[in-house]
Structure 1
Amino acid sequence: MPSRRTRLRTTAALLGLITVLSLSACGDPADGATDEVSAKGSGNEGLKINLGPDQKRISTAKVESVAALVPAAIRKRGTLEIVNSAGSVPPLDFYATDDRTVIGVEPDIASLVADVLGLKPHYNTVDWANIFVGLDSGKYDAGFGNITVTEERKEKYDFATYRLDNLAFETKKGGGDWKVAGPEDVAGKTIGVASGTNQEKLLVDWSEQNVKNGLKATDIKYYQNASDYYLALGSGRLDAYLGPNPTAAYHAAATGETEIIGTYSGGGAEVQGKIAATTKKDNGLVKALQQALDTVIKNGTYEKVLARWGLTSEAVTSSELNPPGLPKTAP
């Protein structure tokens, strides 16, 4: 197994911070090593970001009236079987420096919900497809894995929302007054994106719209690795990169080298994308999840979790049950 110092550097690589962020590696306490990085940007200066397995998660009190909504079988068991996927990059759900413990905003929010329900959270980390297989079979109670509400998924699952699903335009810090609010703002710009994603579709649509309106096309460049597009941003080969807002916001906060110049719904102009706790349809748990989420939103612990990971821009003011989701793709 790699040393703890090597594992911490691997975590940094996932963030695309190889050349821009200096980490203190875990090791013998006598040498002063830690599992933390210091935030350097996006108004988070001084914030310590914990990448270690001991997360010291924010907690809250049980609320008896909400806990009473949990189906009897789950109350009797005493655990909330949570399913997630560690395939995402920070800060959603990813492995800590021990290469075993899954950390991030998703397990933090799930932990708060379990607190309100008076249940012990039990995390089950699987690949993305098996989240839904496990929910279908009843093996898991709820999915907390950056799951977007869609109209197609609503046919099989119930949802209680807890975060906006946004995309972000990230650029090198200090690039001037350029902001992105709509298609015309990317005309003639060189923008990076990952292929086969919602953000690619958005960028292509915007570029085509601009050309029809007599503006310049966007020069779209494709990247699959964070380290590659951050090097391109740093060298000026890209004006901006369009990707998931959580990753961009976390990177900007952790390094202070980049900034967000615009966000847009992951659902495009048709509907605001929303991330939600997900259960098998009609299994009786979603109302308890929704009220637990409303509880932590109102008592402030939810806001503390988002701030911990640099995601306050994705906060919601209440949890919604089965709101309008991303539309079905036309056949």
Structure 2
Amino acid sequence: MRAVSARALAVLARPALLLLPLAVVACGAEPELAPKSGTPTSASTAPGQAINLGPEQNRVRAEKVAAIAAQVPAAVAEDGKLSVGFNGEGAPPLVFPATDNTTLIGAETDLAQLVADVLGLEFAPQTTSWENLFLATKSGKYEVVFNNVTVTEERKDTYDFATYRIDQLGWQVPAGSPIKAIAAPADIAGLRVSVGSGTNQEKVLLDWDKQNRAAGLKPVEILYYQKYGDVLLALKSGRVQAYFGPNPAIAYNIAVSGDSRLVGTASGAGPSLQGLIAAMTKKDNGLVKPLNEALNTVIENGRYKEVLDRWGLAGEAIPESRINPPGLPRQAE
């Protein structure tokens, strides 16, 4: 859930249009935007979808629905704005800086804009680190977060969730890696693996490592990096043999760089449950119901589909938004 630095993104992502192969990001992670040639006019020679990387996004918009807007808690509606938290470093195609190195763009920002429209509020994006998204939401500083947050049973103790995408994770390895597939715990025994700290994929990885140790297999060596760009460098140098993260951004990176491969995907909630990505708000603050109804409104009127199609994420669509569904199981003590 972290990505290449904003400064690098601004340098690499010119001109402001990039061709994204339509089928490439059917599932979720974190990318580098420029092809190896350094001429980012297209991500691939295959026919693709032009992605606007500039600050002027001409976002898909929705109409206010008075009956839903009336349900917004007074404390939220008072200033006429919806304060939405994002990880400022970003992860294309989910959320990342535009070519001005300032404006946040991506599927998550577009969906947040739609929800704000339906609620009759001004979209007010806020940026911070991944870890601080949770603290700022708990304190009420951010009214909602749209940042590839997976529903987990532990998080439901503190936050309310309104779902809007399925959660798929991916395994990324260097293009020349001997690793052909990662589908089960034994496939990562003894490997050097990078994963984001505090993420649901870290929980899945730790569970797999625990199973391996119980079976007498070699433990995983886990390496943590703050930025996805550092992960990519570690993969290239051989310091890391595999990266486990959200699949959309991994697939996006593979499409535009060509120097790594996807060798497996997994549900963000583990083998027995399809993980779900959701808008996150402070528990019992009264906002989750209007968020849920706003999401279902844009799902029904087609604006939701327009956004996912725009960013190549049609494969992560859900038929309806749900409030606090079953999430990633609690970690065993």
Say yes or no: TM over 0.5: yes
CA distance 1:296–1:10, change in 2 (3 Å) = same
Change (3 A) 1:315 1:255: farther
1:38 is paired with a residue whose SS is coil
Given candidates 304, 326, 329, the residue that maps to 1:324 is: 326
Could you tell me which residue of structure 1 aligns to residue 17 of structure 2? none
What secondary structure sits across from 1:193 in the alignment? Answer: strand
Other-structure match for 1:16: 32
| Separation of aligned partners in 1, 2:250 and 2:56 | 24
* Cross-structure match for 2:284: 282
The change in CA–CA distance for 1:134 and 1:199 in structure 2 (over 3 A counts) is closer
Quote the offset at 1:240 in angstroms: 6.0
Choose from 42, 52, 72 the match for 1:38: 42
Aligned counterparts of 2:162 and 2:54: Cα–Cα separation in 1: 29
Give the match for residue 92 of structure 1: 94
- Equivalent residue for 1:135, pick from 134, 137, 143: 137
Where structure 2 has 5 or more consecutive residues not aligned to the other structure, the ranges are 1-5, 15-29
State how far apart, in whole Å, the 1-side matches of 2:203 and 2:87 are.
Answer: 24
- Inter-CA distance 64–200: structure 2 relative to 1 (3 Å threshold): closer
Report if the CA contact (8 A) 1:160-1:320 is conserved: yes
* Of 148, 156, 159, the match for 1:157: 159
Structural RMSD (CA): 3.9
Q: Point out which structure has higher relative CO (alpha carbons under 8 A, 6+ apart).
A: 2
- Equivalent of residue 121 in structure 1, options 111, 120, 123: 123
Deviation at 1:162, TM superposition (A): 0.9
Letter in 1 for 2:266: Y
Distance 1:192 1:23, change over 3 A: farther
CA distance in 1, matches of 2:272, 2:314: 23
- The TM-score with structure 1 as length reference comes to 0.74
Cross-structure match for 1:167: 169
Structure 1 residue aligned with 2:194: 193
Question: 1:253: how far off?
Answer: 3.7
Q: Which amino acid aligns with 2:141?
A: K
Q: Any conservation in 1 of the 2:92–2:252 contact (CA below 8 Å)? A: yes
Shift of 1:60: 2.0
Structure 1 gap ranges (5+) = 25-36
Preserved CA contact (<8 Å) 1:250 1:310: no
Question: Which residue does the alignment assign to 1:303?
Answer: 305
Aligned CA distance change for structure 1 residues 167 and 191 (closer, same or farther; 3 Å): farther
CA distance in 1, matches of 2:154, 2:267: 18
Q: Is the 8 A contact 1:168 1:262 kept in 2?
A: yes
- Residue 251 of structure 1 corresponds to 253
1:106 to 105, 108, 113: 108
Identity %: 47
Q: Is the 8 A contact 1:249 1:311 kept in 2?
A: no
Assess, with a 3 A threshold, how the Cα gap between structure 1 residues 234 and 288 changes in structure 2: closer, same or farther. same
Larger mean Cα displacement after TM superposition, 252-261 or 297-306: 252-261
Task: Check conservation: 2:149, 2:277, Cα contact below 8 A.
Answer: yes
Residue 91 of structure 1 aligns with an amino acid whose one-letter code is P
Letter in 2 for 1:92: L
Q: 1:205 to 1:38 in 2, by over 3 A?
A: same
| Residue-pair matches, total | 311
Q: Which amino acid aligns with 1:252?
A: I
